[in-house]
Amino acid sequence: MRVRVKDICFFSLCLMAAATAISLLFIIIGYILWHGAPAINFAFLTEGSRDFGAAGGVFYQTTGTVLLMFTAGLIALPIALGTVLFSHVYLGPSYKKTTDLFIYALNGVPTIIFGLLGYIIIGEGLHLGVSWVTGSIILAVMILPSMAVSIDEALSAMPHKYRDAALVLGLGRWHLIRTLLLPRSLPGVLTGLFLGLARAAGETAAIMFTATAFSGVGLPRGISEPVATLQTHILVLAGEATNPRALTNAWGAALILVTLVLALSLTAMFIRRQVRMEAEI
Amino acid sequence: MILKRVYTFVTGFLLVTLLVMVPGGTAAAKRASIRVTGSTTVLPVAARAARSFMAAHPDVRITVNPGGSGMGVKSTGRGLADIGMVSREITDKERALFKDVDFNVMVFARDAVACVVSSEVYEGGVKRLTREEIKGIYSGTIKNWKEVGGPDRDIFVIDKEAHRGTRHVFMEYVFGEKTPAARGADLVSGANNEEQTKVSQSNSAIGMLSIAWINKDVRGMAIAENGKTIMPTKDNIINGSYPISRDLTFITNGPPQGVVKDFLDYIMSVQGRKIIKDSGYVPLK
Amino acid sequence: MFHLNKDRAAGIVLGTSFLITMALALFILAFLLAESLPVLREEGLSFITGQVWYVAGDIYGALPMIYGTLAVTLLALIIALPLGIGSAVITSEILTGRTRHIVKSLMEMLAAIPGVVYGLIGIALLTTSVRDLFGLMDGNTIFTAGLLLGIMILPTIMTLSDDAMRSLPGELRAQGRVLGLSHGQTIRRVVLPGSIKGITGAVLLGVSRAMGETISVMLVIGSLDRLPTPIYNVFTSGQSITSKLGREGAEGLGLGLQWSALAGLGLMLFISVMALTFTGNIIRGGVRPKKSKNHEVTG
């Protein structure tokens, strides 16, 4: 009897924890929707911001976020793919642990540190200034490890004997990569890409000193100009929590950003799941 | 199947991004752009002027970033901004950091820093403070509003980040030095908007702000000095009686040239002076 | 004649990208070390034990920031740990198939929400609620930051703990039942102790995430470089290492002793986070399921 009571208490507590966790998500999403939806209309999506963000829309902020994120993906993807292919084809499994260690290390770096060092090394050192390109390089470094891990996962699922057999047969390493590894890495590449894009789109600390400008930004005319982003726009407007118009626009921007990031993450999750199901068949 | 389609789509998108970027990068060199960074007090003037200047000169792009006066000085010094917005004097320490930089300071307006309080405190009876009272509050010796004639509530003391122009000017008046430690502080804010928000969210706060940020929730204190009570108003800036006033400046590395000069000239023009006035400051004669 | 064949060309190209990736983390560490040397030389131990951070006088004591980081992390853990493990028990031991998948996906969505959006929620909702609930003068406190971080790391702890429990072989549970243990007892006496390594790893990774989070903390912590009195009073404003870097970074970047001090803060943060990440991954390594999901990366 006492066991039953204990069990009931235990499961109720766990259930309460789970219910709290799930309701947190709904509260947060609901709160963003509740406050953000009133701001969203055609003009908000297609106009530039006016009156220091209190009026107008977030068109340039949205395009800025998307541009930064895609450019970062464009830079990071080949390097991540190259890294993983190299470690699989040229290094072999004995180096795996060390390689992983470095990738995890890079992945653990707090993003504010990328922002500070990026400003010094890329912004000042390479004379690229506070710009689209500086921000993209920094974000690329930031998302590189998550891409590499996703690609690595896809390739690691493949038995080693395939690779060894191919090499024994005298097929060159490049041939092996082209015919076997690249096609195999495809789902990992896609998952990694979407995860990386989601991370880049949601990141603020790494770009707030290095890539963005608050006022006067349109579509950048080149990679050496700063962009406006949803993230930094929200950051600045968050300081005006008592100006209702600015706050409404901050929530509108947050709603767009969350939609973008969740769409990317869900795509990544969907692809990963698709691949698992195929693998299980 | 699905994967392949997604893959094609993504590759296509990345290629298009690349194609947009490369010609964009080369074309930008031909067009002028001005980067303005610094004081959030000066920012409204710069941003509004930039907007109307760009309307008349579509080939010029002016980006304006907040960050504080310290950021304005340093970004200009190191060449990351073409114009620095600075609402205080450049400090000796900053000049020492940039020995090779010839800072060119252009004063464009007068402003005053007000000691501000939450409206509840103001309506509770605190309408003026002496320098000693403010000093007592910021050094932590005066802790309750009733000690200065207000309601019986603890004082919520809001400080500003140390490099901010508003703080330099305010503290120089209150403590006689630009960067004292404020031991009584309960919270530190950054930009003017943030300070304004924190003061208005509280019912017992004291802070410091440019007079352009005073509103019905954030009230400006009169300063009691030598038996007189001086309100923080534009008139009292103009007649010189309000004791905590300052120059608002744009700084450049060396004398301004090219479009930077055109833009700064525009700010000093009739239209520019109107923008300064509308932003709440006193344009120079 | 040296003949560059396709294999070698591919090796060079791929090897270069490999080296770039490997060098990055080392480079960051070396750079932070080099940049923080001046302040370590100038301040010595008082960089860690000093309580005064006074830029105008070039005095840099980081104790309030170190305290702030530890305090918000601990608070986050107190909130996220019971919730995370409790939910993991439900998803791993009770739910099956589709429901389990949906619940876990929802938690991953919670992890995907950007930090700046959490910060906005913190400013608009949390600070005022904390102020009114606890009768404070102001809601920008260490406690508020810890609360917000707790919500942010909950998904990491929950999904990784779930992975750890799921990776236990099913026979263990069957054995428990054979021995006459109830479902709840099996979980408490067999599953939880059996997956303790994985859960510890999950917690360490969650902690490292909490330590490195910048924007949301910066927006609600109050940014006051001072130790609270009394020291356990988390209902006052404080400063974490990340919020200090976020607030003062732009202004102090690259110049003089102030930058060196900021780099020193960055170095402390980097080393602590690295230590936690490594330990977390190594501990988890032993219990990792076949198809690891690497939430530390996606989170």
User: Which residue matches tokens 């999901």?
Assistant: C293
Quick one: A163 and A32 in the same domain?
Answer: no
Neighbour count for residue B234 (Cβ, 10 Å): 17
Q: Identify which has the larger pLDDT, C290 or C203.
A: C203
Closest by Cβ to B64, choosing from A190, A214, A240: A214
pLDDT tens-digit series, residues C148-186: 999 999 999 999 999 999 999 888 888 888 888 999 999
Quick one: A10 and A106 in the same domain?
Answer: no
CATH number at residue A228: 1.10.3720.10
B66 touches chain A (CB under 8 A): yes
Predicted pLDDT at C297: 36
Quick one: A7 and A98 in the same domain?
Answer: no
C109·A262 Cβ contact <8 A: yes
Examine the pLDDT at B1 and tell me if it is beyond 60.
no
Predicted pLDDT at B6: 60
Best residue of A193, A215, A233 to probe chain B, by most B CBs closer than 10 Å: A215
Quick one: A5 and A60 in the same domain?
Answer: no
Nearest chain B residue (CA) to A214: B65
Predicted pLDDT at C177: 85
Predicted pLDDT at C290: 40
B63·A226 Cβ contact <8 A: yes
Predicted pLDDT at C250: 85
Structural tokens at position A180: 């076997």
What stretch of H or E contains C36?
Answer: helix C6-43
Predicted pLDDT at B19: 63
Mean pLDDT calculated for residue range B245-274: 96
**Regions of chain A with pLDDT less than 70:** 1, 278-281
Quick one: A170 and A139 in the same domain?
Answer: yes
DSSP state of B38: E
pLDDT tens-digit series, residues C258-272: 999 999 999 999 999
pLDDT tens-digit series, residues C27-38: 999 999 999 999
Predicted pLDDT at C294: 41
Predicted pLDDT at A124: 87
Quick one: A11 and A75 in the same domain?
Answer: no
- Nearest Cα to Cα of residue A156 among A82, A81, A88, A79: A88
Percent of chain B whose pLDDT exceeds 90: 84
CB-CB neighbors (< 8 A) of B29 in chain A: 222
Q: Among 3.40.190.10, 3.40.50.720, 2.60.40.10, 1.10.10.10, name the CATH number for the domain at B111-245.
A: 3.40.190.10
Quick one: A59 and A159 in the same domain?
Answer: yes
Quick one: A99 and A128 in the same domain?
Answer: yes
Mean pLDDT calculated for residue range B137-141: 96
3-state secondary structure of A158: coil
Query: How many domains would you assign to chain A?
Result: 2
Give the span between the Cα atoms of A226 and A215, in whole angstroms: 10
pLDDT tens-digit series, residues A61-79: 999 999 999 999 999 999 9
β-strand partners of B210: B113
Query: How far B187 CA sits from the closest chain C CA (Å)?
Result: 5
Predicted pLDDT at B10: 64
CB-CB neighbors (< 8 A) of C226 in chain B: 185
CB-CB neighbors (< 8 A) of A268 in chain C: 298
Closest by Cβ to C17, choosing from A79, A101, A107: A79
The answer to whether domain B2-110+247-283 and domain B111-245 are alike in fold is yes
Report yes or no: A199 and A120 within 8 Å, Cβ to Cβ.
no
Quick one: A196 and A143 in the same domain?
Answer: yes
Structural domain harbouring A228: 43-280
Share the mean pLDDT of chain C.
90
Query: How far B186 CA sits from the closest chain C CA (Å)?
Result: 7
CB-CB neighbors (< 8 A) of B205 in chain C: 138
Spell out the domains of chain C, with CATH numbers in brackets. Answer: 64-298 (1.10.3720.10)
pLDDT tens-digit series, residues C228-239: 989 999 999 999
Predicted pLDDT at C291: 40
Share the mean pLDDT of chain A.
90
C2: region left, alpha or beta (phi > 0 left; psi from -120 to 50 alpha): beta
Predicted pLDDT at B5: 65
Predicted pLDDT at C293: 40
Quick one: A198 and A271 in the same domain?
Answer: yes
For B2-110+247-283, CATH gives 3.40.190.10
A112·C82 Cβ contact <8 A: no
Give the span between the Cα atoms of A180 and C83, in whole angstroms: 44
Quick one: A130 and A254 in the same domain?
Answer: yes
**Domains of chain B by residue range:** 2-110+247-283, 111-245
Predicted pLDDT at C69: 97
- Nearest Cα to Cα of residue A194 among B9, B88, C10: B9
Predicted pLDDT at B56: 93
C4 falls in which pLDDT band (50, 70, 90)? low
Interior/surface letters A241-272, b for 16+ CB within 10 angstroms, e for the rest: bbbeebbbbbbbbbbbbbebbbebbbbbbbbb
Top mean-pLDDT range of C93-107, C140-154, C283-297: C140-154
